[in-house]
Chains A and B, each alone.
Chain A
Amino acid sequence: DQQVKQNSPSLSVQEGRISILNCDYTNSMFDYFLWYKKYPAEGPTFLISISSIKDKNEDGRFTVFLNKSAKHLSLHIVPSQPGDSAVYFCAASEDDKIIFGKGTRLHILP
């Protein structure tokens, strides 16, 4: 039973446009949500996070939105750049245990 779901295995976006990656979760006890970025042959790197008491967190080109009633979060990347091509993992945590989604592969097209 997947507690964190990323329903889009891949996404292609034109360079300069907005990339929107989506994630759904089922456990209402999750109190912290994170996005990780992964390049091939490297470990995932932490990108941005949001506490369940907030609905938006912004860091430069990256913004994460949380809709608790819908149990949905999204990551917006504006503007998208070639270096953003990677796999993005959504994750949700309760205390120090984190559950990861299966990831969405983002392709930024020239």
Chain B
Amino acid sequence: DSGVTQTPKHLITATGQRVTLRCSPRSGDLSVYWYQQSLDQGLQFLIQYYNGEERAKGNILERFSAQQFPDLHSELNLSSLELGDSALYFCASSHPTKGLAGGYEQFFGPGTRLTVL
């Protein structure tokens, strides 16, 4: 158990709909990252928040948005869903200070599997 929680575990919805994925980081972690993993694809970085502020943006579509709340949990909002949005969505968190090995490690949640029909 990484200490990162994600809800829901599975989500099935229809095209055109909007969904919200939720993530709670490990205690003490200030950064939250969102990734998308489609079939046979690697982990595509979507967006990072640090202590409530957007810090970095990756390949995130305009139909997607995220936020991090004062209690540090984060939500990823996906709207106008398309079939191609079906994927595993992972949240990860990291501590604000480097680890003993000299870098930042990310700890991943179990993921939310989104199926768009």
Contact = CB atoms under 8 A, between A and B. Distances in A.
Interface stretch (B14-22, B41-49, B60-68, B77-85): B41-49
Interface string B24-35: 000000010101
A46 B84 CA distance: 28
Size category of the binding interface on chain A: 20 to 34
A57 to B, nearest CB: 7
Contact of A34 (B31, B45, B103): B103
A64 to B, nearest CB: 10
Nearest to A98: B106
Given A43-B108, A43-B110, A45-B2, A93 B43 contact: no
Contacts of A34: 103, 105
Interface in A63-110: 89, 93, 95-103
A46 to B, nearest CB: 5
A62 to B, nearest CB: 13
Nearest to A93: B103
Contacts, number: 67
Q: How large is the interface on B (under 10, 10 to 19, 20 to 34, 35 or more residues)?
A: 20 to 34
Given A43-B2, A43-B90, A43-B108, A51 B103 contact: yes
A42 B48 contact: no
Interface of B: 2, 4, 31, 33, 35, 41-43, 45, 48, 50, 55-56, 90, 92, 94, 99, 101-111
